[in-house]
Amino acid sequence: MKPLLSRKSSKKVGDFATVLPALLFLGVFVYYPVVQVVRISFTNWNLINDSYKYVGLKNWIWLFEGSGTKYLLNSLKVTFLYTLGELFVTIIGGMILAVIFNKLAKSFSIMRALVFLPKYIAMSSAAVVFLWILNTDNGILNYFIMKMGGTKVNWLGDKNRALLSILMLTGWRTIGYGMMIYLAAMRGISTNYYEAASIDGASKWTQFSRITLPLLSPTTLFLFVTTFISAMKVFQSVDVLTSGGPYRSTEVIVYMIYKYAMEDFRMDRASTVAVFFFIILLIITATTMKISNRSVNYDV
Amino acid sequence: MKKSLLLILSLLVVCSLAFAAGSGEKAQAPAAKISYEVTEPITIDWWHALEQQYWPLVDEIVGGFNKSNDLITVEAKYIGNYATVNENLVAAHAANSGVPAITVANTPYVAEYGKGGLTEDLTPYIKATGYDIDDFGEGMLVASAYEGKQVSLPFLISTQVMYYNKTMADKEGITIPAKFADMEAFLKKATKKDASGTTTRWGTIVPGWDQWYFETFFLNNGVKIVNDDRMTTDLGGKASVAVTKQLQDYMNKGYAYWAAGTSASSTMRQNFLDGKAFSVIHTSSLYNLYTDLADFEVGMAWLPAGDTKKSEIGGSVILIPAKNDQKVKNAAWVFLQYLVGKEVNMRWADGSGYMPTRNSVLTTQEGEDFLKRKPAFKTIFDNLDEINPRIQHAGWNQLATIWKSNLDQIMLENTNVESQLKVMAEEINEVLADSE
C-alpha cells in the first residue's frame, strides 16, 4: 500500500509539528500583542474605558505634527544619549577591565568576581540604594565630595546631571558583564598569534590592535547588539531614580510609553509611541546586522 | 509568489481577527432587581495605601470588623502609595481580573474613574440600606461624586497647610502671613543668609512634585485652571503669569526652594526638621509625623490667601470597583460603611494626621475634644468652609503632569515665564479638548 505522505512530506510535517508549540507560544505572547498594539494606535482607547472608537490617524498626527512631537524628539534624544553612554561603559570599560584582568594572576579572581557581581543585583534594589547614595543633602557621595573640599552636587535634580547619574548606576552594573564576556573571548584567542607577532618584533599595542581587537569583533558585535537593544529599553533605573525628570530630561522612550499608559491612561497614545519605537528598533537592529556581516571577523 | 500571497493572506486573517476582537460595545443586560444583602460567608480584599507606621491601626480596625461580623472576612492589603494603587487598580480593571472588593483612591482620580465606569455607583446602595451620608461635609461628598453620582465616599481627608517652626517663630517674632501679598516680607524675615549671600535657612519650601500643593496659590489669585467651557485653561493668562513670576522671584532671591524630584518630599521634611527651613507647605495628614519627629514645637497655618482663601481636599476616597460580583460588592458595601463610620473615622483622625469627616464631630463637643488633643488643627476647623472639592476633569492628570513639568523648568532654570506658560497653555487646551 502506498503511504499517505511521501517520505519527504512526512519529514516536513514532523518538522512542523516540532516547531508548532514554539510558534503557538510566539503567536499568542508576541505576535498577537504586537498586532493589538498596532490596532490600539488607531483607536481612542482610554485604559479605564471598556469601549473605544477608531479614530484613524489622529494619534499618529498627534505624534508627528501635534504636541507629541516635541516629547517624542526629546525622548529619542535622551534614549540615544543613554544608549551611547551604556554602550561606551559596557564595551570600552568592559574591554579595558578585561585587558587588565587578563594580565593579572589567578589570585585576583576574587576582584573579578566583585566587579561582575552587581550584574546579579536586581535593578530596582540597586536603584533604591543609588537614590540614597546620590541624595543631595544626605547622600554619601556628596558627603565625600564635601570632605574633599568640594560643594554639594544636585545629582538627580539637575537636568544636566540626572542622565549621568542614571548612567553611573548602569555602569556599575554592566561594566563587569562586558569584562567577563571579553575576558572569555580573549582566552579563546590562540597564543600562537601573539608568539608569532613577538618573534616579528610587534609591540604590545600592535599585538592588541592587530590581533586582539579584530579577533574580538564578533564579541564586540554581540555586546553592541545586545547592549544596544537593552539600553534602548531602559526603564527601571529611570523610574526609581528620576521618574523621567527633572522636566523630562531623563524621559526615555519606554518611560514615555509607561507614563501615557499608566499615569494618563492614554493607551491609544502609548501604543502609537510603542509601535513607532518598535519600528525604529527593527530598522536599527537589521542595519547593524547587515553592516556587521561585512566587517566582523569570525576567524579565531 | 504563491508563498508571498499566502503570507499576506495569513497576516490579513490575523489582523482582521484582532480588529474584530473588542471592537464592539457590550450589549446591556436587562435590569434585574438587585439584592444588597450578604447571605453567605465571604472573604474580601481591601486595598489601602497606609504605610507601615499605620499598620497596627489598620489591623486593629479591620480586626474589629472581622470580629463583629459573622459572614464577612476582610483582608487588608497594602499596595503602595496612591500612584501604585492607581496603576494596580486600573490594570486589574482593564484585565478584568484581580480587582479588589474595595479600595482607596487618591481624590483626583474620582472623575476619571467615574467617567470610565471603573467605580460602582453607590447611590442605590445608599438608598437600599438607608445609609445617612448627610453627616459628611458637603465639599467632601462633592469631591467623592462624579456628575451627581456618588461613586465613592470620603475616607482619609486632608488639605494643604503650612507647617512652621513655632519655637523659632516665637523667639524671632515671625508670624505667618494671612495674605499672599505679604509673603515676600515674611520670607525676607524668615530667611537667613551667610556673609556670601548663600541661604542657610529657607523661609519656606514649595513642593513642586505635586501640583496640588501650589495650585491654591493660583486658584486664590483668580486663575481658572479649567475654564467654564471645560476645553481651555487660563494658566497662560495674566493672573497665572503674575503668580508664577512671584514664586520664581522667591526662588531667585533665595527665600525659598522648589522641591522637585523623586526624594523631594523626604528631603524637604528633613530640612525642616533640621532647622534648615523655617516653614514648609505640605499636607495636613502628616501632622502626626512632623510632631513626632521634630524636637521643636510645630505650628500649622492656613496658606496665605489671595482674593479668596480656598484650599482643596486631599487624601483618599473609598470605592467599590464595578467589575465585581454582586455578592462581593454587597460585602464591600457593609465594610465600607464601617470604615467611614463616625466612630472608626475618629480613630483614623486620632491615629494619623487625617481630618474628621463628619459634621457631627466637627461642630460639636467631640470636635472640641479633638482640638484639645491636636490644637494645631484649629486652623483647619476655623476654615472648614474654605475646603473645596478638587477640580474634576477626565484630562486632569495629563494637565497636572504638563503644568508640573513646566513649573519645574521655570523655577529651576529661571526660564521666561510668559513664553513658557503660553506654549504650555496651548498644549493643555489640546489635552482638555481631547479628554472632554
DSSP string, B89-119: HHHHHHHTSS--SEEEEEGGGHHHHHHHT-B
Q: Please report how the helices A68-87 and A217-232 are oriented relative to each other, as an axis angle in degrees rounded to 10.
A: 150
CB–CB of B259/B268 below 8 Å? yes
Record the cell numbers describing residue A195, joined without a space. Answer: 608568539
Distance CA B284, CA B290 (A): 10
Chain A: residue whose CA lies nearest to B404: A247
Sign of CA dihedral B83, B88, B91, B93: negative
Q: What single string gives the DSSP state of each residue in B173-220? A: T----SBGGGHHHHHHHH-EE-TTS-EEEBSEEEE-S-THHHHHHHHT
In sequence order, what are the beta bridge partners of B300? B163
Quick one: residue B204, left, alpha or beta (phi over 0 = left, psi -120 to 50 = alpha)?
A: beta
CB neighbours (10 Å) of residue B201? 17
Mention the CATH class of domain B175-277+393-435.
Answer: alpha beta
Interface TM-score (ipTM) > 0.95 = no
CB–CB of B433/A70 below 8 Å? no
Residue identified by cell 522671584 is B249
Distance CA B23, CA A39 (A): 10
Quote the domain boundaries for residue A102.
79-251
Which residue in B91, B270, B408 is closest to A137 by CB distance? B270
Radius of gyration of chain B (CA): 24
Q: What is the CATH number of the domain that holds A242?
A: 1.10.3720.10
Distance CA B422, CA B411 (A): 16
CB within 8 Å: B264 and A157: yes
Radius of gyration of chain A (CA): 25
Question: In this structure, is residue A32 part of a structural domain?
Answer: no
Distance CA B21, CA B230 (A): 33
Residues of B in contact with A242 (CB under 8 A): 261-262
Question: In this structure, is residue A4 part of a structural domain?
Answer: no
Reported as a single tens digit per residue, the pLDDT across B298-357 is: 999 999 999 999 999 989 999 999 999 999 999 999 999 999 988 888 888 888 888 888
Record the cell numbers describing residue A131, joined without a space. Answer: 537614590
> How many domains does chain A fold into?
1
Burial (CB < 10 A; 0-12, 13-18, 19+), residue B138, is exposed
Could you list the pLDDT tens digit for every one of the 300 residues in chain A? 666 678 778 888 888 899 999 999 999 999 999 999 999 999 999 888 888 899 999 999 999 998 889 999 999 999 999 999 999 999 999 999 999 888 876 667 787 788 888 888 899 899 999 998 998 878 899 999 999 998 888 899 888 899 999 999 999 999 999 999 999 999 889 989 999 999 999 898 999 999 999 999 889 988 998 899 899 999 999 999 999 988 889 999 999 999 999 888 899 999 999 999 999 999 988 888 787 776 666 555
**CA geometry: angle at B383 spanning B377 and B389, to 5°?**
105
Distance CA B314, CA A226 (A): 46
DSSP A29: I
In sequence order, what are the beta bridge partners of B156? B316
Distance CA A116, CA A174 (A): 8
- Between β-strands B279-283 and B102-106, what pairing exists: parallel, antiparallel or unpaired? unpaired
Quick one: residue B243, left, alpha or beta (phi over 0 = left, psi -120 to 50 = alpha)?
A: alpha
Reported as a single tens digit per residue, the pLDDT across B251-308 is: 999 999 999 888 888 889 999 999 999 999 999 989 988 999 999 999 999 999 999 9
Question: In this structure, is residue A109 part of a structural domain?
Answer: yes
| B103: contact with A, CB 8 A cutoff | no
Segments making up each domain of chain B, as ranges: 42-158+314-382, 175-277+393-435
B87 closest CA partner among A48, A290, A75, A269:
A48
Distance CA A63, CA A234 (A): 21
- Check residue A56 and give its pLDDT: 94
| Same CATH fold assignment for domains B42-158+314-382 and B175-277+393-435 | yes
CA B95 to mean position of chain CA atoms: 25
Sign of CA dihedral B412, B417, B423, B424: positive
CB within 8 Å: B14 and A32: yes
Distance CA A80, CA A64 (A): 19
DSSP B337: H
Peptide bond into A246 cis (omega under 30): yes
- Check residue A298 and give its pLDDT: 59
Chain A: residue whose CA lies nearest to B95: A47
Chain A: residue whose CA lies nearest to B429: A67
CA B51 to mean position of chain CA atoms: 16
> In what helix (H) or strand (E) does residue A193 lie, and over which residues does it extend?
helix A191-199
CA B359 to mean position of chain CA atoms: 21
| B214: contact with A, CB 8 A cutoff | no
**Helices and strands, counts by H and E, chain A:** 16, 0
| B393: contact with A, CB 8 A cutoff | no
CB within 8 Å: B91 and A262: yes
Burial (CB < 10 A; 0-12, 13-18, 19+), residue B19, is middle
Distance CA A39, CA A160 (A): 38
SS3 category, B279: strand
Name residue B69's amino acid: N
Q: Which residues contact A190 (CB under 8 A, 6 or more apart)?
A: A300
- E strand spans, B236-283: 256-259, 279-283
| B242: contact with A, CB 8 A cutoff | no
Residues of A in contact with B14 (CB under 8 A): 31-32, 35
Question: In this structure, is residue A283 part of a structural domain?
Answer: no
User: How many Å lie between the alpha carbon of B432 and the closest alpha carbon of chain A?
Assistant: 12
CB–CB of B112/A265 below 8 Å? yes
Residues of A in contact with B264 (CB under 8 A): 157
B182 closest CA partner among B277, B278, B304:
B304
- Between β-strands B153-165 and B311-319, what pairing exists: parallel, antiparallel or unpaired? antiparallel
pTM more than 0.95: no
User: How many Å lie between the alpha carbon of B255 and the closest alpha carbon of chain A?
Assistant: 18
Residue identified by cell 470610565 is B116
Q: What share of chain A is helix, strand, coil (3-state, %, to 5)?
A: 75, 0, 25
Could you list the pLDDT tens digit for every one of the 436 residues in chain B? 444 444 444 444 444 444 444 444 444 445 567 788 888 999 999 999 998 888 999 999 999 999 999 999 999 999 998 989 999 999 999 989 999 999 999 988 998 899 889 999 999 999 999 998 888 888 888 889 998 899 999 999 899 999 999 999 999 999 999 999 999 999 999 999 999 999 999 999 999 999 999 999 999 999 999 999 999 999 999 999 999 999 999 999 999 999 988 888 888 999 999 999 999 999 998 998 899 999 999 999 999 999 999 999 989 999 999 999 999 999 999 999 999 988 888 888 888 888 888 887 777 787 888 888 888 888 888 888 788 888 888 888 889 999 999 999 999 999 999 999 999 999 999 999 887 7
CB within 8 Å: B262 and A242: yes
CB within 8 Å: A265 and B112: yes
- Check residue A219 and give its pLDDT: 92
Domain B42-158+314-382, CATH homologous superfamily name and number: Periplasmic binding protein-like II (3.40.190.10)
CB within 8 Å: A246 and B260: yes
